[in-house]
Structures are given as structure tokens and as C-alpha cells.
Structure 1
């Protein structure tokens, strides 16, 4: 397995992402216009694994992370390559290193337009488009009646495991536990049964609401609406694969238009498998976590 790659006149060395100063990772993400704060990087390093490519004086030129989900899935994210390194094939080298470390697992990621040709050449196939909705929340929807919405303590997060597994496809309880420690979680119950939930946490320049898991648009809207009063006049981001559904229209109506898109891709078993009236991931936890 390759540990180094030569880029023009200098050599890059693969290092464990846990051993790198988080502020160097922050500089790397700023360089490509990504909103991750040092705190966001720290959280992702707690729940995942990764490698970086550094030169002989410790400058970071590339990063990539993977997150083990269930027994046979890994989500890939934070794949960042500086233009100088990318032009010399460092992105492909980095991804080949990641795939070697995830050998035997099905893989999924969310690709930018620029990275799409690389992932296609590595055997990934497009499954869906992700719409990034974001903006300053200046409008609140009319207050909804009590529909069985309650805040869920972190100590009870395991109540969501079975419902989330049905939506996500594998058991990602370990990730949800870590997310819940820095999130406010709203749960929707009917007849004492979990029928939806949504988390919110600080991220980037404001807050992200995600994951959002529900069985229909109406419930997804209720869950998002529960969180909104606490976010008034702040920047809010929601990433969803919904395009023209009532849920997507609701996001636009409250002042969260689509700001950009990415593409969900998979290698191995198909990742997205939606069926009528079954739980569905309306809002992503993060691009790296899906």
C-alpha cells in the first residue's frame, strides 16, 4: 500500500489525521470554501478515521476521512485536495488509500461537481442529488399544535436506533450517540412509538438541522418546525435529497433556498433504498456522515 506520492518537486507523506494540528485542517477547508470550524473537524475526528497528505515540513495538502457504519458500510467525506496537489493526481492516490483501508465494505459519499469524474473512474455510481438549503432564518412558520413532539435526552438516544436503521439501511447507533452529545434532539411519537426525529447542532457559520428522519413530508416539516424558534435570525442549513416535494418547498418558503448541490454516489451495494410509507432520511447528518 502506497505511503507516499511525488508531486512535481516535493513528496507527500500519508499521516493519520488524528496526529495533525486541527488548525491546519481548518486552513485546508477554508482554502476550498468549506464552512467547517476547528470544532467541526474535532467532532468528525472523534467519530471517524482519516489520513492527510503532508510535505516534509508538515504542510497539509490533502485530507480524506471514512466513517464505519454498521457491519459493512463506510461513508467517505472531507476529501479535500489543494489545486496544486490535485493537478498531479494526489486526489486519486488519497482515495485509493481510503478504499484500501475500507476493503470489504460498501462505500458511499457525496461528491462535488469537480470531484465527480474522479469518483466515476474509481467505480462509484451516482444515486441522487443532494440540495444544500441555507440562509438567515427570518420567517417562522405558524406554530403547530402539539403533535407528540418532545425533546429527547441524550441518555435515551437508543430509542431511535431501530427507526433510524430502517431509514438509513444499517445500524449507525454509535454515530447517533456522538451526534446527540452536541445536539438538541426532537422526537415525534404516536401511540408511544417513535415515528420521526430531528437533531440540530452548531456547524460552520450557524446551525445545521440533521439528521431528519420521518415517514412522510408532513412529519418532516413538523420536526424541522419544532427547532426553528430557537434559530430565529441565525444562519440555518439543511441538506436534503428532496427536490420538488412539500418538504423542499417548505424550506424555500421559510427562507432557506438551495445554495448548491452535490451528488450521492455509491460503490458496492446500492446505498439509497426508499419505499412508500417507510422511514426516510429527509435531512443529512453531514455530508461525510450521510
Structure 2
């Protein structure tokens, strides 16, 4: 795959992404109405590999990234092209370059609606929808109205929970993203579900975009998820909050809507190549870390 592309009347070139690109990457994401702050770009750059497309006068007009998930798989994300170039094949060219870098790893991504047809044409297969809920929290949850939790208790996240959370995320997500998770834990506050002296679920919350994002969230049932996120939602009453989930319409998504986090958008989880491994144990990922990492 060539590292230059002719676009009438000028040429684009792809170069490695660095932290020095963050100001222009932020401008690029703003141009397509993505909420990422410069700090959000900094996080993904430090944990991934990226390319940027520049034109002949050094304007940054495109981006693409991939993130190792152990040795067998990679997540693809942050694929953006300037609106004025979206009908010129720039996205396909950038995807070809990043797929060459990824090699024979299995690939997974979350496709926006405008990019869905591109990924289908590249051979990606749809797996499941991802529902983005966000908005200003309008009410504090009434915990008395939550479904029964069962054995165990929900308590605030503590520094000594780090190892248990990393292990639980690894089992539920079924792929290794320890490095980024280790940093995200340090950036987050949250809750854990403790049962029999062991952490059996967790919900993290950190600054992102217009406010805060809840995620990842790992638990065995939606009832557990509601008990894990209710204190976080209450803490952010009157503030902008987001959660991305693959859960279908049910108690979790209805809870989010009832507290001001409306359904804002839907993307599609897609995969190519090696099959994704199944989760280990009963815990599942109910809330994404972000759409780039899954």
C-alpha cells in the first residue's frame, strides 16, 4: 500500500501520529462533531499506533489508529477524514494502511453510521449494536426502586481494588488491554460489587468529552449494573454524563433514559479475521471503556 495518494489537485501523505499532532487532531474531531478533548486524544495516542494524513501545505486532514489487544487481536479506531475529503477515498486509503500494519491479528471496531458501508466493503462483519446514551443527569436514582441486588454489597472503588479490576476486565472483555485499563483506573472514581470477599463487578467514571463517561462497567447481571452505576449517576446530577452499552432495550437503558441519559446514537461493533474469544466466567462488559478500545 503506497504512503502517498493523489487527490485532484493535490497529494496527501501518511505519516506516524505523535503527541505533537494533538492540537490539529482535536480540530479534526471537532469538524466531525466528535466530543474528544485534547486530553482524550493524548490517552489514545499513548496506548495505540496511529497515522495522520497531511496535504501539501501540512494541514492534517485524516487520522486512523489501532490498539493491540494482546498478541492475537487489535482494535481499530479514531478513523476520521475531513468532511471535504469524505467522498474521495481517503478513509479507505487510511484503513488500508492501518490494516497492513495490523497484519494477521483479528480486528474489531465500532463503526459509525457514515463509515459502516466502508467497513462492510473491507470485509468486516457486523456483530452487535452499541447504544450511546448521554445527557444532563436530571434526577438522583431512588435506590429503593432498584431490582434486588442479591448477595454482596456495592462500595466505593479503593486503590487496592486495582488488581482485581484488571483481572475481571480481562476475563469479561476476553482480550488483554491491561496497559490502558491500568491508566484508566488511575483516572477514575467508581464503585465495586464485593461478594464473599471478592470483587465481582465494577463501574468506573472519568472525565471525557463534554463531561464524564461511565465505563468500563463489568457485572454478571443488569441488576448488578444498576446498583453499581446508581451512586455515580447521583453524584453527577445536573452534569453531562455518558455511557455506551451493547445491552439491548431493558432495565439498564431504561434507567439511563429515566435519569436524563437519552439514546443519542448507535454504532455497530464489527470484526474481521480471527474470531473473538468468549468471556471467561459469568461477568460481562455492560459499559464500554470508549468506542476506540471497546
TM-score calculated relative to the size of structure 1: 0.94
Aligned to 1:31: 31
Confirm or deny: 8 A CA contact 2:141 2:259 kept in the other structure.
Answer: yes
Aligned to 1:6: 6
Q: Which runs of 5+ in 2 are unaligned?
A: none
Alignment of 1:1-290 (within 5 A): 1-18=1-18, 20-143=20-143, 147-154=152-159, 156-271=161-276, 273=278, 278-290=282-294
Offset at residue 70 of structure 1 (A): 1.7
Q: 1:99 to 1:163 in 2, by over 3 A?
A: same
Offset at residue 201 of structure 1 (A): 0.6
Summarize deviations over 1:176-196 as a string: whole Å, max 9, x none.
101112111322110012210
Q: Is the partner of 2:231 in helix, strand or coil?
A: helix
Offset at residue 152 of structure 1 (A): 3.0
Q: Is the partner of 1:57 in helix, strand or coil?
A: coil
TM-score calculated relative to the size of structure 2: 0.93
- How many angstroms apart in 2 are the aligned matches of 1:245 and 1:132? 14
Confirm or deny: 8 A CA contact 1:187 1:197 kept in the other structure.
Answer: yes
Q: Which runs of 5+ in 1 are unaligned?
A: none
Offset at residue 173 of structure 1 (A): 1.4
Offset at residue 156 of structure 1 (A): 4.1
- How many angstroms apart in 2 are the aligned matches of 1:200 and 1:57? 40
Summarize deviations over 1:255-282 as a string: whole Å, max 9, x none.
211011110000023437479x821111
- How many angstroms apart in 2 are the aligned matches of 1:262 and 1:69? 20
Summarize deviations over 1:133-191 as a string: whole Å, max 9, x none.
01100111114699522333446412123321221111221121011121113221100
Kindly tell me the number of residue pairs found equivalent between the two proteins: 289
Confirm or deny: 8 A CA contact 2:174 2:279 kept in the other structure.
Answer: no
- How many angstroms apart in 1 are the aligned matches of 2:193 and 2:229? 11
Confirm or deny: 8 A CA contact 1:167 1:281 kept in the other structure.
Answer: yes
Confirm or deny: 8 A CA contact 2:139 2:234 kept in the other structure.
Answer: no
Confirm or deny: 8 A CA contact 1:15 1:51 kept in the other structure.
Answer: yes
Q: Is the partner of 1:282 in helix, strand or coil?
A: strand
Offset at residue 117 of structure 1 (A): 0.8
Confirm or deny: 8 A CA contact 1:7 1:85 kept in the other structure.
Answer: no
Offset at residue 84 of structure 1 (A): 2.7
Confirm or deny: 8 A CA contact 1:127 1:272 kept in the other structure.
Answer: no
